[in-house]
Amino acid sequence: MNIDLAVVLCLANEKKNQPFDDYCAGVVSRMLAQNPDERAFLQQYDIHYYIADNPSDNSVARVVDADDNDDLENGRHFAIVFNRDILARLDTEDSMAFVIGHELSHILYRKDFGDVKELAYGEEACCDCNAIRLMRGGGYNLLDIAAVDALYPCLPEGMESRLSERRAFIQRNDISMTSALGKSMPLQKDTFIHLQKEPWKRENIFEQGEPDVARIIAEMVDIIERGDRDSFKRGLRDFLEQKSTEEATKLVMNILGQVMPKFSPVTEMIATCRHRKKIYNHPVVMMSDIVMEQFNRSGKKLLPPADVQIVAKYMQENRLYFEQRDRRLWEPLRKTMAAATMFGSNNIGGRI
Ligand SMILES: [Zn+2]
């Protein structure tokens, strides 16, 4: 997980954070309903909303790349992280919509979407103006932006010019702050206010000696509950790198042989699950780049026959998923298994 994110995420238990994530996603879909271009663009990315408990940070929210590389330009998975105590000082969903709209606009800005960069001078002002546009689309009350500005005890640097850029944008587009935009909605504080601070960091099970397959699978179950797959993947990757290709591929096959029958099939999950984060936490999906790395290493591979049977059947049953979405797992594994069967089925478990 991104270091920046690890520092601010004190409430990273994804299961408990879920109601807040759902609430924010609802606010976003309301704002994007009238902005189909933005909606289509943002749908390419995995964006989730978190609550952090970080008294040393005085911003209400920030957007970060949720992967290792903190890179909004090229990233695909983002976290918008709210500072709980500061967010709790807002009273309306309309104020929060401005904050979310602003953070989403950073993604749009960095990725050069539409005319966001031309709305004003400077990234922050552009994101403010675009947030206003999104708020209007969602029918939110623009007067509630003032409550967000009031969160800062004194005007942060550059705020004066941001405010005047905003005013100019509103005038230029003839946006009325006081028109009948509907009543403000109360901020649903119950989605986040009772979250207890639970600082945690996934322990690296690979540093505590040789974990057996059962221990690795247990960790994968825990990732579905609590998230932070990246620390686990990093640990597993380092662990496999230290092993011979035979040992490493045997372990990878043992893991796949156990998780494939245990968890719901990926094709089925993708069809029914609207949370992309859960898809990335699926053990088979989590394994895909690890499979690619290990099966592309030069050296002999060891394929235990019982696991090969399970994996081949699973790949066949989920063929559509692997062919269309996960060639990292599909291709190197299929190639290796095909090469193994060329020597006859008796040798399928042999070394190649
Ligand atoms: Zn900003």
250: in domain? yes
23: in domain? yes
Ligand 1 centroid, distance to 59 Cα (angstroms) = 9
296: in domain? yes
Tell which wins on pLDDT, 68 or 183.
Answer: 183
pLDDT above 50 for 71: yes
Ligand 1 centroid, distance to 271 Cα (angstroms) = 35
Average pLDDT of the residues in 171-191: 83
Give per-residue pLDDT as tens, 124-158.
Answer: 999 999 999 999 999 999 999 999 999 987 777 77
110: in domain? yes
304: in domain? yes
Ligand 1 centroid, distance to 182 Cα (angstroms) = 26
Query: Which residue bears the tokens 């807002």?
Result: 90
Same domain for 84 and 145: yes
Q: How far apart are CA 99 and CA 131, in angstroms?
A: 8
pLDDT above 80 for 344: no
201: in domain? no
Same domain for 178 and 125: yes
Which structural domain, as residue segments, surrounds residue 250? 206-347
Ligand 1 centroid, distance to 142 Cα (angstroms) = 18
3-state secondary structure of 76: coil
Give per-residue pLDDT as tens, 278-335.
Answer: 788 899 999 999 999 999 999 999 999 999 999 999 999 999 889 888 899 999 999 9
Ligand 1 centroid, distance to 127 Cα (angstroms) = 7
Ligand 1 centroid, distance to 280 Cα (angstroms) = 28
What the block records as the tokens of 291 is 């499979």
Ligand 1 centroid, distance to 193 Cα (angstroms) = 24
Total tally of structural domains belonging to the chain = 2
pLDDT attached to residue 269: 81
pLDDT attached to residue 149: 93
pLDDT attached to residue 224: 83
- Rounded to the nearest integer, the mean pLDDT of the chain is 86
Q: What is the CA radius of gyration of the chain?
A: 24
pLDDT attached to residue 245: 96
Same domain for 175 and 210: no
DSSP 163-196: HHHHHHHHHHTT--TTS---PPPBP-GGGTTTPP
Task: Select from 114, 148, 183 the last residue of a domain.
Answer: 183
Ligand 1 centroid, distance to 133 Cα (angstroms) = 15
pLDDT attached to residue 342: 61
Same domain for 241 and 169: no
pTM across the whole model: 0.64
253: in domain? yes
292: in domain? yes
